[in-house]
Each structure stands twice: as C-alpha cells, then as structure tokens.
Amino acid sequence: MRRLPDWFLNAAPGLALFLLNLAIVWPLLSLEYPADFASIEGAFIGIATHLRQHFSLTGWFPYWYGGIPFPSTYPPLSHVITALWSWASGHSVALSYHQISAVVYSLTPPALSCLALSLRAPRWPAWMAGLFATLASPSAWLIHPIGSEMGGWRHARRFQVLVSFGEYPNLTSILFCLIALALLALAFRYRNPLWSVLASLACAATALSNWLGAFVLALGVLALLLSQEDVFARGRWIQAALIAVFAYGVAAPWLPPSTIAAVRRNAPFVGGHYESSALVYVYAAAGFLLAFVLLWALRAMGTSRALRFSAFWSLFLGGTVLLAAKQGIELLPQSMRYHVAMELALAMLIVIGGCWFLREALNRPRLANAFLAVLLVLGAIQAPVTWGYARSLIRVGDASQSIEAQTVRWVESKLPGQRVYLPGSISFWADAFGTVTQFGGGFDNGIENPTYLHVKYQIESGEGAGAREGEIGITWLKAYGVRAAQVPLADGPAHLRMFRNPAKFDGLLEPLWEHMGTRMYRVPARHGGLAFVVPEVAVPRSRPKDGLDVAEAQRYVSALEDAAMPVTQFEWRGPGEAAIEANPGAAQAISVQVSYHPGWEATSGGSALRVEEDGLGQIVLHPGPGRHQIRLVFTGGTERILTRAASGVCLLVFLVVAIPPARNRALAWLAPHAPGLTRWFGHARS
C-alpha cells in the first residue's frame, strides 16, 4: 500500500486538533456580549474600539488614568487584530473580539504540537501533546483552589480564563510564544538567517501581545538553549541574544522604554504587593542549580531534545507557579498567572516524557504505543465533558440592561466629556459601550502617573483617615479633575463593591443619580475643563508619600476653587491635542489636569513653552502674564523618534537578510570589515 505523504501526516492531525478546539469554543463565534460583565475583556474591547476610530498606536489615550500614551494601555497587537477583523468583516468590535479569541484558542494546541515537532519529537507523541493540552488541566490537579474555582478537575482551565477572566491577550501571547520557540528551534538547527528573522518577528509579536507572554518566552528560550546538544556553544547564545535585541528593536515604538519603566514600577502593586526579598533570590538560585543538575541527568540518560526542553520549561514555569500556590513565595509579580503556560509545558512533558520512558528507557515500544492509545481513549471520554463545560460558561447577555451600559449612557448624556470615577467592571466596560473619560482604567500596570495607585487605594479604602475619610477622598478627586464619582452602595452588586465605606461622601457631595445599587455624586469645580490658573506657590512640588499625605494637594485644591483666579478655557481637539486659552497674572501658572509625559509639547503665539511635571504627576505651564492661546500636543518626544528609527533599521536589516541577492551583496561589502560576521552567515549565500 502506498505510504501517505509526510505533509499529509503532519497537516491532518493539526487540522483535526484545530477543528476539535474550534468545536469546543464554537458558541464564541456568535457571542457579542456575555451575561456576566465582571470580566476585564470590556477594557480590551474598549481599546480595540478606540483603534477602529483613531488608528494610532503611538498617540495619546486621554480616557484612562488622567491620560496615558497609547502603548501604555496594553501591549497592542491583540487589539490591533480585533480592530482589523472588525473593519474587514463589518462585525461589531465585541463580536470580533470573541471570534478572534476563539481562533486563538483553537490554534494554541496545534502550535504546541508544531513546537514539539520542531524539536524532533516523534510525530504522534507531538500531536498527542496537543490533544492533552486541549482536554486536560494539570493546574487543577496540582493546585486545589484552581480546581475548586473551576468546579472540578476535569474542566478546562484555559477556556475558563479566556471566558470568565478575559485572558485573550495572554493566550494570544502564548500562541505567538509557541510559534517563536518553534522558529527558534529551526534557527538553531539550520542556522539559516531567514529562520532567525522569522523567529525575531514572532518574539516581537509575543511581547506586543502581553507582558506575561514575554517572560514565558524568555524562560522558553532559556529552556531551548539548555536542551541543545552543544549547550555551551557560545555562538548559539549570541544568536539568541541578537534575535532578542532585534525583536525589541522592531517592537520598540509600541513598547517604548517609558512604558517598560511604568510597568516595572506598577506591577509589584497590581494584584497584591510583591517584594523581591532575599528568600526570593535564594529560591531563584536554587532553581537554576536544580536546572543544571537536571541538565546533567537528562544528558546522561540520553534523552531527546524535545524531552529536555519540556522538562526545563516545566521546571521554570512550574517552580514559579507552585512556589506561589503552595508556599506563598512569589518569584515574580502575579506569579499565579503563569499557570496557563505551565499547563502547556506539562502537556509536552507528560506525553513526550511518558513515550520516551517506555520506548527508550524500558525498550518497550509496544507499551509506548499503548500509552498513546490510552491517552486517545481517555481523550474521547473527556471531550464531551470539556464541550459541556464550555457551553456552561458561555451565556449570552443583554448588554443594554447591564449597569455598565446604563451608566455609560447616563454619563454621556448628563456629563459629556467630563472625567468621572467609575468602580470595578463599570470602569472596564466604559469605553466598550461609549467614550468616557475616567479616573480609572483597564490596565493598572501601564499607569504613567506614579501617585495614582496610592491615591486610588486611599479613595477606596479610607485607611488611616478616620473621620476625615470623605474629606480626603474628595480632595484627591478634585486634584485630579474628577467631576463625578460613582459609589456602589452596601447592598449593590458584589463585583462593584470597591469602597470599604460606601457612605463616605454622604452629606459632603451632592447625589446626582441612583441606579441598580450605585449612587453618582457630583464633585464641584470652579469651571469646566482641565486647565486652571493657580498661584505659583500653590503648584504641588513634592510627590505625596501616600494617600494620607494631602497637605500640598489641599493647598492646590484651594487654589483651584479660588474665585479670584482667572477663568481658563480648555478643549480637546483630538485624543492627543488640546487648546487652552488663559490669562494668567504675575507669579501665576497654568495647571493642566492631564498626566505628565516627556512627549508633551506646548506652544503659545508660535513660541515653545516648557512642559513641566508637578508633584501630583500632572502638567504645569509657566507662560508668563498676559493672554495666551496655547496648543498642547503629544508628540512622543525624542523617545518616539528613536524607537521608530530603531524599528526601521531592524526591519531594513530583516529585509536584507531575507532576500538572498541583497544578503549576498551585504556580505560582500561586510567581508573586509567584519569577517567574523561574514563567516557566520556565509553558509546562507545563494
């Protein structure tokens, strides 16, 4: 009988695996809005909606946290994909979000199998690893709270985090991570520059989708390097470093250094309080020591490259997650969120490791085949459970009747263009249902203003304020240009109860609207807009130590409310451009309640004004006395110029490397100047 071609033997299982996953998530393809709006997916739909309206990936996003650069809203690639599909298909952004998330979910297990194949794993164990990842959730077996949260160890954790928690960007980055690792394995094997170019682009796509995925990729690259036969070959480590450098160079305009600095500053305080204690370093050092012991043992046993890789990747990810789950020791901020990637690593390890042990260590190939057959039978038994669980989580909702959508309609009608304080899921969904400028937002890691997290915590908790709890909260709201605050009442929805004392503003602020267990209060201001003339001495100079340090903020708010100060006109002309008309006197400044960033530029009458940061992290201008018409524009500054230049250079290098005639001419020119580099690429000449 004629043997089936290799391309069919590889493509058919991959297609079957994709279709199985697509069948599991099929209801997502027609889901616009869910019945439960507690997920953060509303923030991602809001970002994609903004992209459909203003397709700028490096501009200013004025709707969150007093304003942030668009790259700080979230790594943008997954939202770009959603917006492009919405534009191409004509579907709503919400429907497009769920359709793309279904496709990403369905592609992930086949990508895991392709990674195993790129590491020369046997064909059927590689594809069975993808099936295992589809139907099994090792994190539920290893971590009891996860199993309880899912309602049973047989349920699909990867699907739960997608639908219930809105982890689409995380899953997208994991998909690109698997693709990047597969391409890196090919680049290490064949040393063809084209594979390195493709691997670098996939690495960039991983980081541009999610920050967690970037670290999962870093651990995967380390595992890949340790799994090589010539593990200490210097050239391969240099190759990996160059691929990483060029990957960041390509991604730099959308992951600029300022955004990285903001994430690094905020991440330890998002979802808890992370501290890198001495114990953390001890465990990290012990983990790397264990990795080298494992390296010696696996090489001594003659294990396959795929098994070595999955063992190292499982060690790195599993150690990070299980230390946090079992011992409360976090090696990284938000360590538990790496458990989805850990499941994929364990799927490879269990299937490929089991087959290797039976086939090679015990020399029982029939037992290895029986092991795969048993897994296939168990998969057939498990598939209906996973299918049913998925349908139990996907419930269609009426968005128009939700508190989130009704709040947005009310704010747009009664407080158009005003900055408001919104709690919980209402904040997440505000820009999915409309265009609302708010004090909060959907990605605390990207906050540019370093005082925000302290202030937010103080407003919601009132900790240490005693009888002044409401007064201090109002001071911060006024200082940051908030014109209304929505507070969940004591008997309001549980997922909105952000305030320890829901009655803190009673008798201090005027109620405007009460609906579905929430109350909206007016926060008074001397005039509209976000620009105020204040005395120079009232401009906050030092950053508050915490949310109770309000002395300078109170002096500043008193100046904002001083009727003797000139009235200022402020108008947004676009997401990153504002017009200000003011008439300050001597020893007076213009305070703009917009987050400071070095990328802001201001002019008055054709002359540049210096844009400075005050102690609250907002903009202050010193134009001098007299009437001024000021144009405030976010240009991104020097950082944008440098990152775009870096990206352009990297893409040009990739183009030269990818086209053989151009590559050969470049090598001929480099030969007398860089013979080492020429030799390294010489094998790839046409």
Domain count, the chain: 3
- Is 90's pLDDT higher than 90? yes
**Is 216 inside any structural domain?**
yes
481-520 pLDDT tens trace:
999 999 998 877 776 777 889 999 999 999 999 999 999 9
Cβ contact 495:455 at 8 Å: no
**Is 615 inside any structural domain?**
yes
User: In terms of Cα–Cα distance, which of 659, 685, 660, 686 is closest to 671?
Assistant: 685
The answer to whether residues 596 and 656 belong to one domain is: no
For the chain, the distance separating the N- and C-terminal CA atoms, rounded to the nearest angstrom, is: 39
**Is 343 inside any structural domain?**
no
Burial class (CB in 10 A: 0-12, 13-18, 19+), 381: exposed
The answer to whether residues 462 and 540 belong to one domain is: no
Angle at Cα 622 formed by Cα 634 and Cα 570, nearest 5°?
55
> How many residues does the structure list for the chain?
686
Cβ contact 38:495 at 8 Å: yes
Confidence label for 670 from pLDDT (cuts 50, 70 and 90): low
- Is 254's pLDDT higher than 70? yes
- Is 585's pLDDT higher than 80? yes
Q: Which two tokens stand for residue 552?
A: 């300078």
Distance CA 686, CA 671 (A): 16
Q: Which two tokens stand for residue 561?
A: 């409310």
Cβ contact 366:350 at 8 Å: no
**Is 631 inside any structural domain?**
yes
Distance CA 364, CA 581 (A): 83
Burial class (CB in 10 A: 0-12, 13-18, 19+), 285: exposed
Mean pLDDT value of segment 401-417:
95
The answer to whether residues 604 and 655 belong to one domain is: no
The answer to whether residues 485 and 437 belong to one domain is: yes
Average pLDDT, the chain: 91
- Is 2's pLDDT higher than 80? no
The answer to whether residues 502 and 547 belong to one domain is: no
DSSP codes, 3-44: PPPHHHHHHHHHHHHHHHHHHHTGGGGG-SSBS---STHHHH
The answer to whether residues 558 and 671 belong to one domain is: no
Distance CA 229, CA 179 (A): 22
Give strand ranges (E) for 586-682: 588-595, 600-604, 607-609, 611-613, 618-621, 628-634
Confidence label for 87 from pLDDT (cuts 50, 70 and 90): very high
Give strand ranges (E) for 366-482: 419-421, 437-438
The one-character DSSP state at 2 is P
Burial class (CB in 10 A: 0-12, 13-18, 19+), 191: middle
Mean pLDDT value of segment 211-233:
93
The answer to whether residues 616 and 651 belong to one domain is: no
Give the SS3 label for residue 182. helix
- Is 568's pLDDT higher than 60? yes
Mean pLDDT value of segment 189-217:
93
% of the chain with per-residue pLDDT over 70? 95
* Range of the structural domain that residue 202 is part of: 174-255+638-686
Number of H helices, E strands in the chain: 25, 16
Last residue of a domain, one of 491, 522, 553: 522
Confidence label for 13 from pLDDT (cuts 50, 70 and 90): confident
430-459 pLDDT tens trace:
999 999 999 999 999 999 998 998 999 999
User: In terms of Cα–Cα distance, which of 208, 259, 227 is closest to 76?
Assistant: 208
**In CATH, what number is assigned to the domain containing residue 455?**
3.40.50
CA 426: distance to chain centroid?
20
**Is 84 inside any structural domain?**
no
CA 98: distance to chain centroid?
17
**Is 72 inside any structural domain?**
no
Q: Which two tokens stand for residue 160?
A: 């739960």
Distance CA 476, CA 250 (A): 40
Last residue of a domain, one of 522, 556, 576: 522
**Is 90 inside any structural domain?**
no
Give the SS3 label for residue 238. helix
Cβ contact 512:522 at 8 Å: yes
Cβ contact 164:35 at 8 Å: no
Sign of the CA dihedral 170, 174, 180, 181? positive
Q: State how far the alpha carbon of 605 is from the alpha carbons of 9, 567, 602, 608, 609, in Å.
A: 70, 20, 10, 8, 10
The answer to whether residues 415 and 516 belong to one domain is: yes
**Is 196 inside any structural domain?**
yes
Count other C-beta atoms under 10 Å from residue 96's C-beta: 24
Q: State how far the alpha carbon of 384 is from the alpha carbons of 154, 251, 390, 608, in Å.
A: 11, 41, 10, 66
- Is 676's pLDDT higher than 60? no
The answer to whether residues 435 and 485 belong to one domain is: yes
Give the SS3 label for residue 466. helix
Count other C-beta atoms under 10 Å from residue 626's C-beta: 12
CA 35: distance to chain centroid?
24
H or E element in which residue 358 lies: none
Give strand ranges (E) for 167-221: none
- Is 338's pLDDT higher than 70? yes
The answer to whether residues 549 and 610 belong to one domain is: yes
Rounded-to-5 percentages of helix, strand, coil across the chain: 60, 10, 30
The answer to whether residues 647 and 583 belong to one domain is: no
CA 79: distance to chain centroid?
10
The answer to whether residues 631 and 642 belong to one domain is: no
